[in-house]
Chains A and B, each alone.
Chain A
């Protein structure tokens, strides 16, 4: 319902209709001769718009009702779909890393900043031996999180990535959810790109099982 309403609102682009919300802004014609230009300069100089702005500042100062966030002491909560520095998630069941080393994030990355080394581990499984994201190149587009079949790589809310080396933020071990967080059950699932939609169960066609 909600979506339909928005659709209607934005889809009505007919400016000529009487009941439309659009109206033309009254803009004076540009002066065509030097006299006209002179008159415009005088008019603009003497209107005192500067003082309008100064008044607003003065007024707000006296009111003592300042909305400025005192960053970095104060921080705004970040939206759950915000795309900041990547996180690697763990499985709820076993606390092991979700990443299976399929390399799809490496393939889809449009700024070519992900690289992954894999090998056969002692249990004959695919093991990620090295994982790197070059944050100097990353444009935080979210494709890696979207393509990840295991919901392993996601974005997080950590947007403070000023450092002399951005690589400091992409140590694989640092991106992984810490084990104590897992034990405490406080790993936060990402709700943005790549996450499971609420209607997923209805969309999936069930595969029959013979046993």
Chain B
């Protein structure tokens, strides 16, 4: 892709070759009206408002690509007429009761109707009965729908659920006279609009998707609204607090929309979460899990005194990664001053993994991020239950396939209908647990440059290859000669008579042939089907950017060290770029900032986790702490970005900084520590108040800053161990959450209604004697838990999912470190 210059309305602008004119214009602050286009999705061509003249020809700016020297005019007399007619058509039968519409004030139909100066209506058609539909967490009002299909587009191209589609409207045909009297594009657009409405792909009454709510966010009118938000506030009354989502490591840009709770209660309340949906897509947890704040009436001085006593007595601080970088820095400082042990097993695993990875890669951090993965066209995911571990990683995988004509390869033991539903070009391989090593070897084998790869590895890989002879059935065309009788006129006698003639004909024939093919035993070990290589070759055609996402199954694996080294080798010797998915919200920040210990001592302070003295933002501890939506600070995301987040609602209690100050530190606010974050780990000396949190018009992410990927000295040793043959078999349990749940904080949110329990697939339940709602005892050598069965149609296969979002079910008790284990399950 090279830089080119095009001319829009007399302004010379620089853009990429092949960039859509609309995007080029937007990036340079030139306004072209458009409703149906979403920046990171494919053009829909529903609204036709973005009509422009390029080199004298009318084109749609959202799907016309820029060429060197192109001259674009954004409006002409004809285009202005078209646009006004289009807006008039949109206003036909659209109710004028903006006062009772939730979109009023941020409605694109309102805006463009005014922009195009529509003050009279020239078109009319008989309306059809369009009734409101309650789709569960989303409410659809077809009466307001302008069928721009943005919801359908984002669901398909970004989210990958394909839950929405256009359905027939059942309206009368447009009167013929309009065809001649109306502007051409407006008529064509109306013709399409008049035939469709939005409906559910499943044909059911309720939405059954991963419930991200992105469709309602992108809806330009009030047709799709979050059910919880209906009629609760006008958009203009809400104050936007720019923040970073605190639920997973994706670190999505969000804004908490706050307003006073009610007339009687002037305390701020979060009414909804919005995002810059052109540049970031949220998951259900980010969008609906916002009211997890810890409401504290006043400072509890007695509890604070006890906390200080406890800190003086303690030798260990145990914490989760749902903390800010500043708090992590405070904990590290406390460790340096008082010698506490810092215990956080999940961040420790990631830290060790990244350190092992650096030994070969020579950099502190992995090379790629999700933003780049969006733009790749061949994406592999290993060791992550993608849809629940990091929904944005799933969106990246889906987006790369739909928009870049890419393909994907998903390795995981847990069968996942959501991933399979992403499209035809996703290949799934459900290997057995513990086989992640084999997977990485297979990737090395398939994609690494064997001429550069260390020779011992090449030799090791070669041992899995052999030639085998297989019989293939082939259809060939064979020429046969047959004798047919035809009637012919005898030229001498002039009479018709029957003569025999020879005719040649091509006939398809099936033959069996024996061919020598390469047999890759790695595939057999993983249980790949015979067509795997064939499909892969098909999917690999015309691919040039490769991304690999690695998840938490790898860091908790017993041979994590070997896996980390293999991953570094893949990055070094193949075209694949690696993104490591940090386990929890700020696991990466904690792993970089804190020196973590393995074992805890005799007296433990727990921060958001159970300890001898517990500090908790969940409101169930010995001293209350602010939750993430009540805190200022920075969070380190999967994209290696240090994102600022702000307090959306007030907090009246004590925070970690108060404890640190009582123990001899001196900082007015915890954000005073932002510039002190360790620069040798890649952090920058920047004050919190100077950190931006927005996107530019061209999509540039201006949020916080990117971590420097610090170089690390390597020994040059690139040896890796052979994989161990072991794999887990039997009744398997897996430590992972259902979609939309991450931690006790998401569990606390009122709009996320997932029930806690043991998650089993419908397939598994139908095969067993168990039923949804039964209490079961899950037991293995590590421990046992008793919980109710929850039927989950977002998983299939035999693996049982034990969630971590409800700490009342102590799922972790059944696992040593690895996320998979075997267990016995019986009804109680």
A residues neighboring B (CB under 8 Å) = 100-104, 106-107, 115-120, 124-127, 130, 132, 149-150, 205, 207-211
Contact = CB atoms under 8 A, between A and B. Distances in A.
A124 B126 contact: no
B97 interface: yes
Given A103-B234, A208-B122, A126 B100 contact: yes
Interface in B99-126: 99-100, 104, 119-126
Contact of B232 (A107, A119, A205): A119
Nearest to A149: B99
A181 B32 CA distance: 55
Interface in B722-753: none
Given A106-B234, A118-B231, A119-B232, 7 more contacts: A101-B231, A107-B234, A126-B231, A207-B120, A207-B121, A208-B123, A211-B126
A127 B100 contact: no
Contact of B100 (A107, A115, A119, A125): A125
A117 B237 CA distance: 11
A113 to B, nearest CB: 12
Interface string B234-272: 101100000000000000000000001011100000000
Contacts of A103: 99, 234, 237
A124 B99 contact: no
A15 to B, nearest CB: 44
A208 B125 CA distance: 9
B98 interface: yes
Contacts of B786: none
B99 A115 contact: no
B237 A100 contact: no
B230 interface: yes
Given A102-B98, A130-B263, A211-B126, A120 B231 contact: yes
A37 to B, nearest CB: 61
16 contacts: A101-B99, A101-B100, A101-B231, A102-B100, A107-B237, A118-B232, A119-B231, A126-B100, A127-B231, A130-B263, A149-B99, A205-B120, A207-B120, A207-B121, A210-B125, A210-B127
A100 B231 contact: no
B772 interface: no
A44 B99 CA distance: 66
Contact of B262 (A117, A127, A205, A209): A117
Interface residues of B, number: 27
A210 B124 contact: yes
Contacts of A211: 126-127
B479 interface: no
Contacts of A119: 231-232
Contact of B132 (A116, A124, A207): A124
Contacts of A100: 97, 99-100
B281 to A, nearest CB: 27
Given A102-B99, A117-B263, A118-B231, A208 B237 contact: no
B708 to A, nearest CB: 47
A127 B230 CA distance: 11
A116 to B, nearest CB: 8
A120 B230 contact: yes
Interface in B348-396: none
9 shortest A-B CB distances, which residue pairs? A102-B99, A210-B124, A208-B124, A207-B121, A205-B120, A103-B234, A126-B231, A126-B100, A210-B126
B40 to A, nearest CB: 33
A132 B263 contact: yes
A84 to B, nearest CB: 23
A178 to B, nearest CB: 23
Contacts of B121: 205, 207-208
B104 A102 contact: yes
Contacts of B233: 118
Interface of B: 97-100, 104, 119-127, 132, 175, 230-234, 236-237, 260, 262-264
Contact of B263 (A115, A149, A150): A115
Contact of A150 (B99, B230, B234, B236): B99
A149 B97 CA distance: 9
A115 B261 CA distance: 11
A123 B649 CA distance: 32
A209 B125 CA distance: 7
Contacts of A115: 260, 263
Nearest to B234: A103
Nearest to A119: B231
A104 B264 CA distance: 20
A104 B236 CA distance: 10
Contacts of B124: 207-210
Contacts of B237: 103, 106-107
Given A124-B132, A126-B231, A205-B119, A104 B99 contact: yes
Contacts of A150: 99
Contacts of A208: 121-124
A160 to B, nearest CB: 25
A48 B337 CA distance: 92
A207 B122 CA distance: 7
Contacts of B264: 130
Contacts of B98: 102
Contacts of A209: 124
Contacts of B262: 117, 130
A19 B732 CA distance: 107
A139 to B, nearest CB: 20
Most chain A C-beta atoms within 10 Å of own C-beta, residue among B121, B124, B132, B234: B234
B81 to A, nearest CB: 18
Contacts of A210: 124-127, 175
Contacts of B126: 210-211
Contacts of B230: 120
B222 to A, nearest CB: 11
A65 to B, nearest CB: 53
A104 B260 CA distance: 17
Contacts of B123: 208
Contacts of A120: 230-232
Contacts of B97: 100
A102 B98 CA distance: 8
Nearest to A106: B237
A104 to B, nearest CB: 7
B335 to A, nearest CB: 49
Contacts of A127: 231
A205 B122 CA distance: 10
B115 to A, nearest CB: 19
B818 to A, nearest CB: 47
Contacts of A132: 263
A124 B227 CA distance: 11
B139 to A, nearest CB: 9
A130 B261 CA distance: 12
B545 to A, nearest CB: 47
Contacts of B125: 210
A152 to B, nearest CB: 10
Contacts of A126: 100, 231
